[in-house]
Structure 1
Amino acid sequence: MAKRTVHTLSFLTLALGVVAASAGVFIHKGGAPYDFVNQYGDKVEIYGKGLYAHDSTFKAPIFRGTDLSMLFVACPLFFAALMYDFRNGTLKSRLQLTSLIACFFYYAAGIALGVAYNALHLVYIALFSVSLYGLVAAMTSIDRYRLVRSVLPEFPLRGMYVFLFLTGLALFGAWLPDIMQAFRLGRPLLLIETYTTEITYVLDMGLVAPAAFICIYLLKKRAGLGYILLDIFLTLCLLMGIMLPVQTLFQFGAGIEIPPAALAVKMGVFCLLAVWAALLKWNYYKNMRDL
């Protein structure tokens, strides 16, 4: 029953993810940018076309870059992981599927809570719901004691600790200065534009970064949940490293100018972390036996 539940929710997550990402990539006709004065009295340029017509010109290309990455990278990986787990049902296959469901939940939270209302609002809500409950079902379906025993005793965790700690700090370092500057100036966030909050800051500093530090603690205790969170974190970092350059290319294509320093620091750091995550994930799976 648990296996069927996980696979059903996974299939629904994949199907809804394909619909949401495809719409963001391919619905891009009509309209033109226009200016709008937000609630803070600042003039903001609105994108004016496609699915993200009511989002800002700065944010809409980011959303489209995310959709492209999800459609052509994350969705094929998700399908492969789902098929592999359906046919084999190994510990590694379930762990990989769980990690990809978590990535889809992160994506769903971003579009359901951070995108201006559009025709896919119900799709976003459905994706948020099935990915959340799919993640819970997948995590609880993993035998944590068996997972701990499957990891070879000689598996080096020190590198994992360093990676998790630095990545958690990097997330705070990337976004916290923007908030502190807004506090110092007595103004809203520089790029708040027409939005009520910055969902990326909420997810990264409120959910992902704390999860990194919690994961370190759990790994030190040899807790099964720590090994699950580790794979989720590595997979999410790897996917983010693919998304960021694509998002940046879409912004360049829309004529958005990004300061070289911000580009080098934020994108460069996270791309390096993504490469590091890929190496650590390979080493993690190499040191895991299917019991």
Structure 2
Amino acid sequence: MKFRKTISLLTLCIIILSFIAASYGILSDNGNGQYEYKSIHGKTILIYGKGLYKNDSVSVASQAIAQDIVTIILGIPLLIISLYLSRKGLIKGRLLLTEILGYFLYTYTSYSFLSMYNSLFLIYVMLMSLSFFAFTLAMMLFDIQDLSLYFDEKLPVKFLGCFLIFIAFVIGMMWLGRIVPSLINNTLPNGLEHYATLVIQALDLGFLVPTGIISGILVIKKKAIGYLLASVVIIKSITMLSAITAMIIGQIHVGIKVNFVEIVLFPLFNLLVIYCMTLIMKSVKEPRYE
């Protein structure tokens, strides 16, 4: 399998560095604790005040710690398992590896640009770079023209495609609902706090939402590339929704008010995307290798 050694080396580096970064993010607690800070926009922001994320807001710090927990208990184990299965030549392993690498690429791109500068900045950049090249090479492992042959014809592509489009629509409307009113009213969008811009919203609206819609349409039409993109979006949705669920718990723990609808909907969507991923993996037909 071409690029196997390179992908394995890059992935092992990602495993080691992400474990260090996530563990430090969870365990570090030096600092005096929360305090108020007046941003350049004249808003009073509650700063976390301790640990790696001491200069981040309470909201973003609690979300980052929740993301670190998801990386430790879900992201890294899945990356190890997928690397093992991929090296055995299994299509399921290659798919899962590509999907999980997409998660690490998204996660550490957001950390590199969103988190306030801290001592792990260079590690974030390294993880972003390693994930980008590993993800790109993993995508190149597939013969796109033959990819649809690896999936059972009974796979409910209409259900999967419509669900992907629905998830993309919900995410898009959620972020546009936050941004557009502020543009119309010439006010600051909710969640900007003391940061320079809306990094997560830019990544989601620029990449995740379009990819979700395109992959949904392509998988409904049973186009080969649609199966790969759909798998990537679904595993990203699983990790994202797992992180959001953990973030909601973290925000409730630190006393941040969370909408009841969010408490119900995000865990429900999480279960649905896990079900979709199960459908995809069960439908994969492993070819024989010489």
TM > 0.5: yes
In the TM superposition, what is the alpha-carbon distance from 1:190 to its structure 2 partner? 2.2
Instruction: Please give the residue correspondences for 1:233-252 in structure 2 after superposition, counting only pairs within 5 Å.
Output: 233-252=233-252
Determine if contact 2:144/2:225 at 8 Å carries over to the other structure: yes
Q: Which amino acid aligns with 2:283?
A: N
TM value normalised by structure 1: 0.93
Q: Which amino acid aligns with 2:8?
A: H
Partner of 1:186: 186
Tell me, in whole angstroms, the C-alpha distance in 1 between the residues paired with 2:84 and 2:284: 20
Q: Which amino acid aligns with 1:163?
A: F
List per-residue Cα deviations over 1:52-96 (Å, max 9, x = no partner).
01101221111111111111121111112112222x121111111
List per-residue Cα deviations over 1:144-182 (Å, max 9, x = no partner).
233211112232211012101110111012211111221
Tell me, in whole angstroms, the C-alpha distance in 2 between the residues paired with 1:35 and 1:105: 32
Determine if contact 1:31/1:50 at 8 Å carries over to the other structure: no
Q: 1:285 to 1:230 in 2, by over 3 A?
A: same
Partner of 2:25: 24
Alignment of 1:281 with 2:277, yes or no, is yes
Partner of 1:207: 207
Alignment of 1:139 with 2:135, yes or no, is no
Partner of 1:129: 129
Q: Secondary structure at the match of 2:119?
A: coil
Q: Secondary structure at the match of 1:155?
A: coil
In the TM superposition, what is the alpha-carbon distance from 1:238 to its structure 2 partner? 1.4
Partner of 2:119: 119
Partner of 1:12: 13
Partner of 1:177: 177
Structure 2 unaligned blocks of 5 or more: none
Determine if contact 1:244/1:267 at 8 Å carries over to the other structure: no
Q: 1:223 to 1:6 in 2, by over 3 A?
A: farther
Q: Secondary structure at the match of 2:188?
A: coil
Partner of 1:77: 78
- Give the share of equivalent positions with the same residue, in percent: 24
More deviation, 267-276/140-149:
267-276
Where has structure 1 moved over 3 Å in runs of 4 or more? 220-223
Partner of 2:97: 97
Partner of 1:168: 168
In the TM superposition, what is the alpha-carbon distance from 1:275 to its structure 2 partner? 1.3
Tell me, in whole angstroms, the C-alpha distance in 1 between the residues paired with 2:114 and 2:160: 31
More deviation, 221-230/174-183:
221-230
Tell me, in whole angstroms, the C-alpha distance in 1 between the residues paired with 2:47 and 2:227: 43
Alignment of 1:271 with 2:267, yes or no, is yes
Partner of 2:219: 219
> Aligned-pair RMSD on alpha carbons?
1.5
Partner of 2:38: 37
Q: Which amino acid aligns with 2:86?
A: D
Tell me, in whole angstroms, the C-alpha distance in 2 between the residues paired with 1:58 and 1:152: 43
Determine if contact 2:157/2:222 at 8 Å carries over to the other structure: no
Q: Which amino acid aligns with 2:266?
A: F
In the TM superposition, what is the alpha-carbon distance from 1:22 to its structure 2 partner? 0.8
Partner of 2:67: 66
Tell me, in whole angstroms, the C-alpha distance in 2 between the residues paired with 1:116 and 1:140: 34
Q: Which amino acid aligns with 1:157?
A: V
List per-residue Cα deviations over 1:169-201 (Å, max 9, x = no partner).
110122111112212321111221110112221
In the TM superposition, what is the alpha-carbon distance from 1:18 to its structure 2 partner? 1.0
Q: Which amino acid aligns with 1:92?
A: K
Number of aligned residue pairs: give it. Answer: 286
Alignment of 1:230 with 2:230, yes or no, is yes
More deviation, 221-230/129-138:
221-230
In the TM superposition, what is the alpha-carbon distance from 1:253 to its structure 2 partner? 2.1
Tell me, in whole angstroms, the C-alpha distance in 2 between the residues paired with 1:39 and 1:12: 38
Structure 1 unaligned blocks of 5 or more: none
Q: Secondary structure at the match of 2:37?
A: strand
In the TM superposition, what is the alpha-carbon distance from 1:221 to its structure 2 partner? 4.8
In the TM superposition, what is the alpha-carbon distance from 1:101 to its structure 2 partner? 0.4
Partner of 2:148: 148
